[in-house]
Amino acid sequence: MKPVLLLKTHFGFDQFRPLQEEIIDCVISGKDAFVLMPTGGGKSLCFQLPALMMPGVTLVISPLIALMKDQVDALKANGIPAEFINSTLTRPEIDQIQAEARRGNIKILYAAPERLILPEFQLFLKTITVSLIAIDESHCISEWGHDFRPDYRNLIMLRNIFPEVPAMALTATATKKVREDIICQLSLAKAKIFISSFNRPNLSYAVLPKKNSYDQLINLLREQQHESAIIYCFSRKDTEHLAADLRQEGFKALPYHAGLESEARRTNQEKFIRDEAQIIVATIAFGMGIDKPDIRLVIHYHLPKSIEGYYQETGRAGRDGLPSQCVLFYSYADTIKQQYFIRQIESEAERKNAYRKLDQMVEYCELTTCRRHYLLAYFGEDYQHEKCGGCDICLSPKKEIDATIISQKIMSAIIRTGQRFGINYIIDVLHGAKNKKIIERDHHNLSVYGIVDDFSKEDLRRIISQLLSRKLIVKSGDEYPILELSPRGNEFLKKREEIHLPKFKSIAKLSQPSDEFEAGYDRELFETLRVWRKKIADEQGVPPYVVFDDLALRQMAFYLPQSEENFSRISGVGAEKLKQYGQIFTEVIQTYAKENNLSEKDVPVKRSARPHRANRLGPTHLETKKLVLQKMSIEKMVSLRGLSTGTIAAHIEKLVSSGEKIDIDYLRPPVERFATIKAAFQESGGTALSPVREMLGEQFSYEELRIARLFLKL
C-alpha cells in the first residue's frame, strides 16, 4: 500500500506535513536518516508509517519509559500492532511479547537504551527480523546537549549487530555541534539529513518579571480554566509547595519529580494524562516523559538552564497545533541560583559550557526584539518576518525611556574602577554601598560612587543587560565575569550619543495566535464531546487524546458531521477509529444539532496533521506586490521601502504562496548560481534554508536562497 493510503487508513490524514514523505521514502529505500524536527512536528510518524511498509519489526529506542505505554496505546488505537519492553513489565509479560515478535505479530517494538546492554536482549534481537532502527531523543547521546545520557553511547552496538539495517536518529533540539556529535557517535556519516523548521506558529512566548508572580500565575491559570498546564520549577521542594498552594486555590494540581515514590509519580502522571488533574507542577525531567497533545499552557516559574532545554519544554505545549501559551517568570535571583550550581561542576569544560548556556538564557529574557526570532536564530534558522505576532514584544512593544545619562554613569563606573569587576560590584559602587572591598580599594572616593539613587538594583541589572546586548559593554571570564567597554562603547561615550532602552513592564498582556476554528466552533458541543471522549477513554483504559485529540473535537463542533463519509474527513479519523467511534460521536452530534436547530457542514477533503493559519496578505505585502509588478529589483525595493532585504524576500515568497498573479522570473538567480542552489536543496532532502546555507557558505545569502526556492516549487 502506498504511504499516503496508509496515512489515511491508520492515522486519518490525507496529506503529509513538511518533510515527512521525503523521510519515509529515504528509510524504506534502505538509507540512514538524521531527522531534526520540533516537538509536535510529526517525528514519530516518520518511523511508524515505514514500519507498516517494511517486513519484520521496527525497533524504537527511547529513554522515555513513562511515555512508552501511551505511544503503544495510540498505535493500537490506530490498528497498528505495537508493544514495549522496559523495567515496568514482569518477566512473563516480556517473554510473551518476545514470542509474539518472533511469530511476526508485532510491527513496532519500543525499548529503553539501558536494555541493549543485556546479553539476553541482544540474543532476542538476533532471533527476529529487524527492518529499521529508530533512535528517538538522539540528542541524549551528546555531552554537548542539554540532556546527556551515558546509556545512549551503547547504541553503536546496534549498528554492529545489524550493519545492513537502516537507522534513523530523531531529535527535536540540537545545535550544529550536537548534530555533528550525534552523526559521529551513531556512525551516520552517509545518512541523509532532514532539518525541519523550528518555528511553532501556534505557540506564543512571553517573559514576565518575577514581581507578584504568584498572583500573575493564578490569573494565567484562571484564564485557561479546564485546560491542561505544566509548571516547571527549580527544585523538588518548590514543586511540592506550589502544587499544594494551587490546590488551596481550587485547582487540581499535582507534583511530579524524581524524589516521589515511583508509584506516586506514575499515579500523578496518569491522572494528568487522563484529564483527572488539570496541572502538573514538575521539575524539568517530567516534560521528557509526556505525550499529551492538548497542553495549552507551559509556565517556567524559575529560570531554565539553557535555550535547548527551554525550547524542548515549551514544545510540550500545543502539540495538536492549536493555540497555546509559553510563559517564563524571570528574576536575576534565579540567575544567581543557577550560577551557584554551575560552580559545583567539576569539569572545567562542562562548567564553561553551562555558563555560556545560562548567559544565552538570560539574554533571551532581557530581549527587546522578537523572541521567536531569537529562538530560531539560536538553532540556525532564518526568520525574516518583521514581527512574529506571537510573543509579548511583538504583540505589545515595551515603552522606551531615555537611558542616555544612566548608561553613561554605568559605563563611567566600569572605566573608573579599572574594568576589572562584575555587575554586582559596579551596582554597589553606583549605589554608594558601604562595602568593605569598595573602601579597601578606595573606590568610595571615586566621582561615580553613590551617583545613582533613582534606579533599583534590578533596574540597573536590566539596563546593563541591554548595554551588553547592544555590544556597548562586554563580559569576559566565565565563573566570575567582569565588565569592560567595547570599542563601540568607547565611541558612544566619546561622541556623547543618545540611547533609548525599553522600560521593563511589570505585567505583559498575553495574546495567542489566531485559530481557524476559534471563532466558529460550538463550545457547548465541544465540551459535550469532551465528556463522551473521557467516558470512552476510561472504559478502554487509555488517555482521552488516544480516542480523539482536541483538534478533531473542535472540527466536529465546527462542521457537525453526521454521516459516516463526512465524519471520516475529520482530522485524525482513520479506518480503525471510524469503525470504533464513528457511530457514537455522530449520534451525539445529531442529537445536539437537532435540539439546537443546527445544520451539518461539509468537511473539506484535504487536511494534514495540523491546522494551518490563514495565509492572509497585509497592506505591506500588497505594497511590495506593486513594486514587483513594475519589475523593480530587490535592492531598489529595499531602498524605496526602508525594509531589510530579508523582509522583501519574505514578502515575495508570501505573495507567491498566496496565489497572487505576479511574474517573478526576472528575479531568478543567474543560471550557474541557480544550478548550485538547486543541487544543494536536493542534497539536503528538504526545503529548509539553514542546511543549504551551511553547505554553500556565506557567498550565498539567505535572501537569494529564499528567492531561488520559489523557482524550485513552481
pLDDT tens-digit readout, 56-67: 999 999 887 777
> How many whole angstroms separate alpha carbon 428 and alpha carbon 422?
10
Say what the pLDDT of residue 496 is.
85
> What's the whole-model pTM score?
0.68
Query: What whole-number percentage of the chain has pLDDT above 90?
Result: 37
| CATH no., domain 203-388 | 3.40.50.300
pLDDT tens-digit readout, 181-201: 889 988 888 899 898 888 998
pLDDT band at 384 (very low <50, low <70, confident <90, very high): confident
Helix (H), strand (E) counts: the chain: 32, 17
CATH topology of domain 400-502: Arc Repressor Mutant, subunit A (1.10.10)
Q: Which one-letter DSSP state was computed for residue 631?
A: T
pLDDT band at 511 (very low <50, low <70, confident <90, very high): very low
User: Does the pLDDT value for residue 444 go beyond 80?
Assistant: yes
Q: Which residue would you say has higher pLDDT here, 347 or 698?
A: 347
172 within 8 A of 308, measured Cβ to Cβ: no
| CATH no., domain 619-713 | 1.10.10.1390
| Parallel, antiparallel or unpaired: strands 295-300 and 253-256 | unpaired
What is the rounded average pLDDT of the residues 494-517?
61
596 within 8 A of 627, measured Cβ to Cβ: no
Domain spans in the chain, listed from the N-terminal domain onward = 3-195, 203-388, 400-502, 523-595, 619-713
33-47, 384-398, 573-587 — most confident range? 573-587
Q: Which CATH class is domain 3-195?
A: alpha beta
Say what the pLDDT of residue 397 is.
66
Q: In what helix (H) or strand (E) does residue 110 lie, and over which residues does it extend?
A: strand 108-111
**Identical fold between 3-195 and 400-502:** no
Alpha carbon of 549 to those of 75, 148, 358, 556: distances in Å?
Answer: 14, 32, 36, 11
Query: What whole-number percentage of the chain has pLDDT above 70?
Result: 91
Say what the pLDDT of residue 508 is.
40
Beta bridge partners of 194: 35
74 within 8 A of 24, measured Cβ to Cβ: no
pLDDT tens-digit readout, 649-707: 878 888 887 778 888 889 988 988 888 988 888 777 666 676 677 778 778 887 788 88
pLDDT tens-digit readout, 591-650: 999 998 889 998 887 555 444 444 456 667 788 888 999 999 888 887 777 666 777 887
Q: Which CATH class is domain 523-595?
A: mainly alpha
